[in-house]
């Protein structure tokens, strides 16, 4: 049914629409994108863990754990190799075998005189006591940059100590300190959501919600797309099981307003130019614009066989070559951004007044969160150093737990030793009683025999 000769608005090009109508030369070349909130500042309680990535910490911990046993092996293995050689009682003299036991019996005096001469035995170094525990604590103190004395005077131990010291000082401590200092000066933020893969991941893991404008080309891309677009559309329908169309919004500006509220993690899919100008309205520093996802073209829709199509294409080409279409598009977006209804202006004024009141009431207590997020370089405060106090608290609790376990273990050992001593005293007491009883019986028997003999 024909309702108009041609449509002067921007219509998204598609294969299905080209079967029913014709399109002019494109009036707008826009890219698809999505907008989310700006990357928030990460929790500073775990700042002491961020100088190294998560995949580096396991190797670092294993290196520190195995350094002590390796140091112990370097020191202890030479002592294991130097076993005392047992002097045999048989000596070889060419093909002859001399039995020293027979010679000792024949010449005892000569051997006695020789044996009386002092022999100089080469001094053999003994293994230090509790070497394994000392190696463990030595490496831990070395990696933690604590003062420690030289554990062993062997050349191999000295060389390994130098290697550990270089690794702990230049490779670990300096790099860790530099990274931690830079992160304290410029706090870390969340990873930006720039790609569809990242958007899909945060929708599955962090519960992000994606919104799209009703009857828009972005919605058609989601409904008719493949791979990631199809998966995103399925996730959007699962956001609210009661209403599968709850992800639809009236306009892109409404979606940007949802993100500006900041109550939940949200994202809006639409044209990049549209998102850009709506973001400027609410403050570009509060939003994150993704990369270009796809390119979409808009044109004027006319009937098939329209006689004005060639003339319209010539006009549009001249406007496009002169850059007038881009200027018109930019001016239109800016005009839409400035055109706010009275209700929206009133709401914005109320929100601004509420924010000013909250800011004045909280100035004496603490700085607002958004002010802290906007600061790129700030002085150190207690909030930045809370990770060190948390680590100190964890270490204190661990030490207290180890002390409690040691006391329990010693109490068990003390109880066992007391039981053993009690049993020993009981045995001795029984023996004394038996001896006394035996002596009494002996005296009694002696008296009885003495009376009989008398």
Res 11: pLDDT: 58
Which CA distances in Å does 369 have to 37, 358, 363, 372? 15, 12, 12, 5
Spatial separation of the C-alpha atoms in residues 16 and 18, rounded to whole Å = 5
Res 292: pLDDT: 85
Give the residue with greater pLDDT, 118 vs 17.
17
Give the residue with greater pLDDT, 238 vs 415.
238
Of 319, 325, 296, 332, the closest CA to residue 17 belongs to: 296
- The mean pLDDT of 44-55, rounded to a whole number, is 73
Contact assessment for residue 236 and residue 223, using Cβ atoms and an 8 Å cutoff? no
pLDDT cut 70: percent of the chain above it: 72
Query: In the structure, what pLDDT confidence band is assigned to residue 356 with cuts at 50, 70 and 90?
Result: low
Does residue 141 carry a pLDDT above 50?
A: yes
Write the pLDDT tens digit of every residue in 73-103: 888 887 777 655 545 566 666 666 666 666 6
Spatial separation of the C-alpha atoms in residues 302 and 250, rounded to whole Å = 26
Res 252: pLDDT: 84
Does residue 37 carry a pLDDT above 60?
A: yes
Write the pLDDT tens digit of every residue in 281-321: 777 788 888 888 888 777 788 888 888 888 888 888 888 88
**b/e sequence 220-245, b meaning 16+ C-beta within 10 Å:** bbbeeeeeebebbbebbeebeeeeee
Res 265: pLDDT: 83
Q: How many residues does the chain have?
A: 454
Res 336: pLDDT: 64
Give the residue with greater pLDDT, 47 vs 347.
47
Does residue 127 carry a pLDDT above 50?
A: yes
Res 196: pLDDT: 86
Does residue 120 carry a pLDDT above 60?
A: no
Query: In the structure, what pLDDT confidence band is assigned to residue 370 with cuts at 50, 70 and 90?
Result: very low
């Amino acid at each position: 049914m024909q309702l108009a000769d041609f449509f002067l608005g921007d219509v998204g090009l598609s294969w299905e629409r080209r079967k029913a109508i014709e399109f002019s030369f494109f009036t707008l070349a826009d890219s698809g994108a999505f907008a989310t909130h700006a990357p928030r500042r990460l929790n500073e309680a775990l700042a002491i863990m961020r100088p190294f990535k998560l995949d580096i910490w396991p190797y670092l911990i294993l290196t520190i754990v195995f350094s002590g046993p390796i140091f112990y092996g370097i020191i202890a293995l030479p002592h294991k190799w130097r076993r005392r050689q047992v002097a045999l009682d048989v000596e070889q003299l060419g093909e002859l075998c001399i039995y020293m036991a027979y010679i000792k019996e024949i010449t005892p005096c000569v051997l006695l005189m020789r044996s009386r001469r002092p022999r100089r035995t080469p001094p053999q170094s003994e293994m230090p006591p509790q070497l394994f525990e000392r190696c463990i604590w030595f490496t831990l103190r070395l990696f933690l940059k604590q003062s420690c004395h030289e554990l062993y005077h062997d050349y191999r131990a000295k060389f390994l100590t130098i290697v550990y010291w270089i690794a702990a000082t230049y490779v670990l401590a300096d790099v860790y300190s530099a990274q931690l200092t830079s992160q304290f000066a410029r706090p870390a933020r969340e990873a930006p959501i720039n790609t569809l893969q990242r958007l899909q991941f945060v929708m599955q893991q962090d519960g992000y919600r994606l919104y799209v404008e009703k009857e828009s080309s972005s919605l058609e891309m989601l409904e008719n797309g493949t791979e990631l677009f199809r998966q995103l559309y399925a996730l959007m329908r699962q956001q609210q099981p009661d209403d599968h169309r709850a992800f639809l919004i009236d306009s892109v500006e409404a979606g940007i307003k949802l993100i500006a509220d900041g109550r939940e993690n949200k994202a809006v899919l639409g044209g990049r130019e549209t998102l850009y100008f709506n973001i400027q309205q609410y403050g570009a520093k509060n939003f994150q614009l993704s990369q270009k996802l796809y390119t979409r073209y808009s044109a004027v829709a006319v009937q098939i066989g329209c006689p004005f199509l060639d003339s319209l294409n010539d006009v549009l080409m001249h406007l496009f070559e002169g850059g007038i279409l881009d200027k018109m598009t930019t001016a239109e977006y800016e005009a839409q951004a400035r055109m706010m209804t009275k209700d929206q202006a009133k709401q914005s004024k109320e929100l601004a007044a509420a924010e000013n009141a909250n800011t004045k009431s909280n100035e004496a207590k603490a700085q607002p969160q958004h002010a802290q997020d906007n600061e790129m370089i700030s002085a150190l405060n207690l909030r930045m150093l809370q990770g060190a106090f948390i680590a100190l608290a964890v270490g204190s609790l661990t030490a207290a737990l180890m002390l409690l376990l040691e006391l329990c273990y010693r109490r068990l050992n003390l109880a066992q030793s007391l039981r053993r001593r009690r049993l020993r005293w009981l045995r001795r007491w029984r023996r004394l009683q038996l001896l006394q009883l035996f002596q009494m019986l002996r005296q009694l028997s002696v008296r009885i025999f003495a009376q009989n003999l008398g």
